[in-house]
Amino acid sequence: MNATKNCRICQTEKPLSEYNVKKSNKDGLRNACRPCQRNSNAEYRKTPEGRLVRAFHQAKGSAKRNGVFDDLTMDELREAYRVSKARGCPYCGEEIEDNSFSLDHVIPMSKHGPNTFANIVICHHLCNTNKHNRPVTDYATEESLDVLMRDTFMRSEKKMKVWEIVDMFQSGEYKKSN
C-alpha cells in the first residue's frame, strides 16, 4: 500500500499523515497537503469572492441571531458587489477597493432590518464602521440616500425602496422572521 501521496499544489510526495481527510475523494484525503491547503485558504479569503463568501456566512449567522427575515442569496451579494464596484461606495461615492469592502445592511439587523437584497449594500469598511447601528435616515446625506434608493430600487426584483423598508421596519412588519 502506498503510504505517500503527491500534493497537487506543491507537487511533493508526502506521507498520508500530511493530508486532511476528505471523505468524498477516492482515497479519503484532500489533494493538497495541509500547509498548501492552509495557504490557499488564506489566499482565497483575500480575494473579492472569498471576502463575499465570508461576509455572506457572517450575515446569515447574524440574521439568525437577530431573528430577522433572511432570503439573501450568494448571487444577489455578488450583484451588489458588482454594482458598488461600478458606481462607488453608496455612502461616500469613492471607488471600492478589492481588499477593504464590507457588506452593510442599510437598516441594521440589530434594528430588525432584513437580510435581503433590497436592504444590503457593499460599501467601504470604514464607511460601514462610521455608520455603526444608526438607521440610514440618521446617517446618509440627502444625496447618498437618493443614490441608495435608486440603486435599491433597480437592484431589487422585489422593487422595494429604502423608504419602503424603513416603513416596514417602523410598522414592525420585519421584526421577526416569517
**163 CB-contact burial (10 Å; exposed 0-12 / middle 13-18 / buried 19+):** middle
User: Whose grid coordinates read 481588499?
Assistant: 99
Question: Which of 89, 107, 118, 148 lies at the binding interface for Zn ion (CB under 5 A)?
Answer: 89
At 121, which helix (H) or strand (E)?
A: strand 120-124
**Residues 6 or more apart from 69 whose CB is under 8 A from it?**
63, 114, 115, 116, 174, 177, 178
Per CB under 5 A, which region of 39-47, 92-100, 152-160, 166-174 contacts Zn ion? 92-100
Q: Give 19 or 69: the residue with its C-beta nearer to Zn ion.
A: 19
Q: Give 92 or 166: the residue with its C-beta nearer to Zn ion.
A: 92
| Contact string 17-36 vs Zn ion (x = CB under 5 A) | ----------------x--x
Q: Is 127 in the site for Zn ion (CB under 5 A)?
A: yes
Q: How many residues bind Zn ion (CB under 5 A)?
A: 10
| Interface residues toward Zn ion, by CB under 5 A | 7, 9-10, 33, 36, 89, 91-92, 124, 127
